Amino acid sequence: MFIYAHRGSSGYAPENTMAAFQMAVDMNCPGIELDVQLTKDGHVVICHDEDVSRTTNGQGFIKDFTLEELRALDAGSWMDPKFHQEKIPTLVELLDLVKNTEMIMNFEIKNLPFYYVGIEQKLADAIKEAGMEDQAIISSFDHYALQTIHKICPELKLGLLFSTRIIDPWIYAQQLPYPVYSLNPDWSFVDSHYVQQSHLHGYQVLAYTVNERPTYEALRDIGVHGIFSNYPDQFM
């Protein structure tokens, strides 16, 4: 099974920070998942929530901060004071860390509740600049964002994220105006029928977020292709 470090190795270091990404690299993790958003001045940054208050010492929406303002925030102390120097990373920083590795990167476009106009172009440009087109999967709960990035860069692999139990997602995927690489559901939606039908229709199943051993084993036994985990080392 393919293991992605979810928001980096976020069980051990603050999520979506360089410390968490470096840890995934040091663990020889095969893949990393991360969430991208846009600042007020148009920089692609890595953060899960649209609001900085849970994971930094600041308050407000990412879309209302310039990069310089965001970089002044402490993105690590909320987890442990020893991480006080961690910042919200830029996409470029992360790419510099991984571009000479063999890792597969799952870039999740966070387009809800705010729609970040132009984020797809910026993400595609940065991936191309780093020469990582073959090592990238773009996913989103916003399936229109995947359509947009497909038009910009058709060679990128696309993963459909699902936060609800829609009926027959493999049928839904087939009628989209772009080719789908993977179905990325919450792990609790997945059973052997789900995996069989997905594979039959040509899709990988990448399940989030798996942190418990029994869940990992159940998914492995029904043939799930990959998982996202905060503790990737436990399942490698």
Catalytic residues: 6, 48
Which CB atom, from 74 or from 108, has the smaller least distance to Mg ion? 108
Instruction: Give how far Cα 7 sits from Cα of 15, 46, 56, Å.
Output: 5, 9, 15
Q: Is 86 in the site for ligand G3P (CB under 6 A)?
A: no
Which residues 126-145 are close enough to bind ligand G3P by CB under 6 A?
Answer: 139
Which of 35, 74, 86, 142 touches Mg ion by CB under 5 A?
Answer: 35
Report residue 213 CA to chain centroid gap. Answer: 21
Residue 228 binding ligand G3P, by CB under 6 A: yes
Task: Decide the pairing of beta strands 44-46 and 31-38.
Answer: antiparallel
74 binds, among Mg ion, ligand G3P, none (CB under 5 to 8 A by kind): none
Relative to beta strand 44-46, strand 204-207 is: unpaired
CB nearer to ligand G3P: pick between 116 and 208: 208
CA-closest candidate to residue 60, choices 127, 114, 100, 11: 114
- 16 contacts ligand G3P (rule: CB under 6 A): no
When the beta carbons of 35 and 120 are compared against ligand G3P, the nearer one is 35
Find tokens 């310039």 and name the residue.
66
Q: Which residue number has the CB closest to ligand G3P?
A: 208
Is the CB of residue 109 less than 8 Å from the CB of residue 149?
yes
Residue 88 structure tokens: 């919200």
Chain positions contacting ligand G3P, by CB under 6 A: 6, 33, 35, 48, 108, 139, 161, 184, 208-209, 228
